[in-house]
Structure 1
Amino acid sequence: MGKSLMYLLQTDEKPNRRRNLFEEAKKLDILVKDKNGEAYMVPNTAFDVGMLDLTHPLTAGWFKQILQEMVDDGVRGWMADFGEGLPMDATLYSGEDPISAHNRYAELWAQINREFVEEWKINSVGKEKEDPEETLVFFMRAGFRDSPKWGMLFWEGDQMVSWQANDGIKSAVIGLLSSGLSGYAFNHSDIGGYCAINFPIIKYRRSEELLLRWMELNAFTIVFRTHEGNKPSCNTQFYSNDKTLTHFARFAKVYKAWKFYRIQLVKEAAENGLPVCRHLFLHYPDDDKVHRLSYQQFLLGTEILVVPVLDKGKKDVKAYFPTGETCPWQHIWTGRLYKKPGCEVWVEAPLGYPAVFVKVGSIVGETFLENLRNLNIL
């Protein structure tokens, strides 16, 4: 997995650099400019960067050539990071108002990346053209109205490595569901979050429990993907010990077990825009209780109900079974049936056994359970 950026850093002091993309872009005059006509150096954490002017006619071709070189080296996927940071006082080649162009910039960023993917498909031959494993994919975090038209996958940016609702594991669910209602059908978060803080007076470090619960959550999203975070040494990683590796392997299998349904939901999203992960009110709009839910639970399509553990130290969750549903819900781990619509029930959910339910009599549910058995998860 690679990473592509519209931000370019001066690399003169980097001893092992092969190319200085910043200087190349500067010579081509394809960087966003400040009011004085100089390359606009945008503050980015501990350093300043130049930003590609996506309205310049030379930018797309130059950047696609970089992507081509990356793909020629064997890369088949990349993070098309950033896209949201066009300065409000920048000067663009197009001459347009930077405030008006700010949101459109994210769309152009998605469009250039997607155009490269489509052009690569057209020009591919042999195994690259026939083998689905050779398909290119990119994911991004910035977006505006037309971004889903161009973006292949999205992720929710950099959550804190915490249990918080404002910026942590709970916010990952809120963002997942709200973005799904806004046309972003294929979205996900970094397993374990990203932002750690290690100051003397305040510390946010990814705990083992948080990482394991985030694995359980993301096994039921469109992408099951880890990230070491901004401070890897402060965070528990999936490879930290036997417990984390075993848990990761277990939920990679859970993720695999509903692949057949994920493919179906992706096709459905392409046809009608419905997200893969859905807030319950999309299918139970007349249930007032459903309208008060935020991060507590969600649906995969219509057939799987997920009630993740999102609080430290908790080993049970409160599941709500909506009114308007005629089929009972079956707990995947115990087989217990919940037949009464409109009721709340406390369900045990120790590590490794998040509260997940399938509709009784559902072909999707039966296939999912059978796949779990075949993978020795049940």
Structure 2
Amino acid sequence: MILRPLKHILLSLSIPEFETWLLCFKQTDKKPNRRRNLFEEAKKLDILVKDKCGEPYMVPNTAFDVGMLDLTHPDTAAWFKQVLQEMVDDGVKGWMADFGEGLPLDVTLYSGEDPISAHNRYPELWAQINREFMEEWKSARAGKEREDPEEALVFFMRAGFRDSPKWGMLFWEGDQMVSWQANDGIKSSVVGLLSSGISGYAFNHSDIGGYCAVNLPFIKYHRSEELLMRWMELNAFTTVFRTHEGNKPSCNSQFYSNHKTLSHFARCAKLYKAWYFYRTQLVKEAAQKGLPVCRHLFIHYPNDRNVHSLSYHQFLIGTEILVVPVLDKGKKNVKAYFPEGETCSWQHIWSGKLFKEHGSEAWVEAPVGYPPVFIKAGSTVGETFVDNLRNFGIL
């Protein structure tokens, strides 16, 4: 387990005290747990997936091998929930339920089912066990004392299949490169955000700044300060606002690197906080109707052919906020498209300028710290959002 302070990272959710990295893998004794050797416990209980010889199937994972929990075994859930309970008793309020997508296709499972078909079901079971623990923990506390939001629990995960949103609480998009790339960088995080949203994953987000850095003699990907700051601006308008140091922290600019990055982080956290009231509405709407918080424009403007050509370029928050993130290095302005079919104007939150021509494009200035964001003129949601920005001193 890796614990990192998280109170300021998931700002306004008011839930986790710690982010805990939790795997469906059980590591061998390269880094034994100080209290318990979970690998040996799981091996003794015979709840690890097996190879064709009946031995624990060892999966290479970076610098060490791991065994995978057999989530089809009837004893696995009870044992794993006991591990979760121990974490919660130690003060953990939230965790990253990582992996889940890597079940090998030649394992032997307790259930006897074909591992090829079980491969897609595995992340659903992984989400279900974590969610069941949440519900059981909540039920055990019912009636004992007045509900305290600080005592809530949350987990987020990256693996998924058809029924994963039924069990998962939050999702994130895995490990993007620390780059401006469209295929696996900041642009791809927007593509993933919007495509997953229309696939049932209403509460998704990415690591601020990306995750994968490369530091080889001829290939280097290091997170620049500019990329980090633009990613902060982007994620201030997703369901979760969460940083990550990345796989090579020393190669990456961090939110705590200097006064400039820390101040920008605080500014974007206020941006995120300013639409908390609307996010709460959209989360409820997602639970009732399945609509994602962050939406591709064609969901609300299906007859506008121009929005069909948009990919990572811009997106809606609900119906009242339009975000046009800066996703290219060195750019200080972006092209915004205002869809057809509106009866009101879009208002730029920083300048107050109104854009009345629907079905048209306009270049908008976007210095660092002022991501192009628009609200529907006269919208109660938009006005409240702008009022909050003023109250936070950033408008």
TM-score range for the pair, normalised by the shorter chain length: over 0.9
Q: Is the 8 A contact 1:210 1:312 kept in 2?
A: yes
Letter of the 1:52 partner, please give it: L
Are positions 1:28 and 2:57 aligned together? no
- 2: CA distance, partners of 1:376 / 1:128: 38
- 2: CA distance, partners of 1:33 / 1:224: 38
Are positions 1:61 and 2:78 aligned together? yes
Tell me which of 200, 225, 249 is aligned to 1:232: 249
Q: 1:250–1:127: structure 2 CA closer, same or farther, 3 Å change rule? A: farther
Aligned-pair CA distance for 1:127: 7.9
- 2: CA distance, partners of 1:272 / 1:15: 45
Are positions 1:2 and 2:20 aligned together? yes
* C-alpha distance after superposition, 1:135-185 (max 9, x if no partner): 100000000000000000000000000000000000000000000010000
Aligned-pair CA distance for 1:244: 0.3
* C-alpha distance after superposition, 1:251-296 (max 9, x if no partner): 1011000000000000000000000000000000000000000000
- 2: CA distance, partners of 1:195 / 1:138: 22
Aligned-pair CA distance for 1:3: 1.9
Letter of the 2:220 partner, please give it: K
Q: 1:262–1:15: structure 2 CA closer, same or farther, 3 Å change rule? A: closer
Give 3-state SS (helix, strand or coil) of 1:358's partner.
Answer: strand
Aligned-pair CA distance for 1:27: 0.3
Give 3-state SS (helix, strand or coil) of 1:264's partner.
Answer: helix
Correspondences of 1:318-333 after superposition (within 5 Å): 318-333=335-350
Are positions 1:163 and 2:180 aligned together? yes
- 1: CA distance, partners of 2:90 / 2:365: 48
Give 3-state SS (helix, strand or coil) of 1:346's partner.
Answer: strand
Tell me which of 272, 291, 305 is aligned to 2:322: 305
Aligned to 2:13: none
Q: 1:128–1:309: structure 2 CA closer, same or farther, 3 Å change rule? A: farther
- 1: CA distance, partners of 2:52 / 2:31: 29
- 2: CA distance, partners of 1:116 / 1:374: 39
Q: Is the 8 A contact 1:128 1:134 kept in 2?
A: no
Give 3-state SS (helix, strand or coil) of 1:79's partner.
Answer: strand
Letter of the 2:187 partner, please give it: K
- 1: CA distance, partners of 2:146 / 2:44: 36
Aligned to 1:281: 298
Aligned-pair CA distance for 1:45: 1.7
Aligned to 1:119: 136
Letter of the 1:138 partner, please give it: F
Aligned to 2:54: 37
* C-alpha distance after superposition, 1:224-264 (max 9, x if no partner): 00000000000000000000000000010110000000000
Tell me which of 334, 341, 349 is aligned to 1:317: 334
Aligned to 2:379: 362
Alignment TM-score, normalising by the size of structure 1: 0.98
Aligned to 1:82: 99
Q: 1:5–1:14: structure 2 CA closer, same or farther, 3 Å change rule? A: closer
Q: Is the 8 A contact 1:128 1:135 kept in 2?
A: no
Are positions 1:140 and 2:153 aligned together? no
Letter of the 2:353 partner, please give it: R
- 2: CA distance, partners of 1:43 / 1:278: 37
| Structure 2 unpaired stretches of 5+ | 1-18
* C-alpha distance after superposition, 1:282-315 (max 9, x if no partner): 0000000000000000000000000000000000
Q: 1:223–1:15: structure 2 CA closer, same or farther, 3 Å change rule? A: closer
Letter of the 2:23 partner, please give it: L
Q: Is the 8 A contact 1:307 1:356 kept in 2?
A: yes
- 2: CA distance, partners of 1:121 / 1:4: 20
Letter of the 2:26 partner, please give it: L
- 2: CA distance, partners of 1:125 / 1:334: 49
- 1: CA distance, partners of 2:72 / 2:290: 29
Q: Is the 8 A contact 1:179 1:185 kept in 2?
A: yes
Aligned-pair CA distance for 1:128: 7.0
Aligned-pair CA distance for 1:17: 2.6
- 1: CA distance, partners of 2:382 / 2:272: 14
Letter of the 1:4 partner, please give it: L
Tell me which of 347, 351, 354 is aligned to 1:334: 351
- 2: CA distance, partners of 1:81 / 1:127: 32
Letter of the 2:20 partner, please give it: G
Q: Is the 8 A contact 1:76 1:137 kept in 2?
A: yes
Letter of the 1:320 partner, please give it: Y
| Structure 1 unpaired stretches of 5+ | none
Are positions 1:248 and 2:248 aligned together? no
Aligned to 1:107: 124
- The aligned length equals 377
Q: 1:312–1:289: structure 2 CA closer, same or farther, 3 Å change rule? A: same
Letter of the 1:251 partner, please give it: C
- 2: CA distance, partners of 1:240 / 1:314: 22
Aligned to 1:218: 235
Aligned to 2:114: 97
Aligned-pair CA distance for 1:129: 5.6
Aligned-pair CA distance for 1:14: 3.9
Q: 1:274–1:292: structure 2 CA closer, same or farther, 3 Å change rule? A: same
- 2: CA distance, partners of 1:34 / 1:88: 10
Q: Is the 8 A contact 1:77 1:137 kept in 2?
A: yes
Aligned-pair CA distance for 1:46: 2.0
- 1: CA distance, partners of 2:253 / 2:97: 25
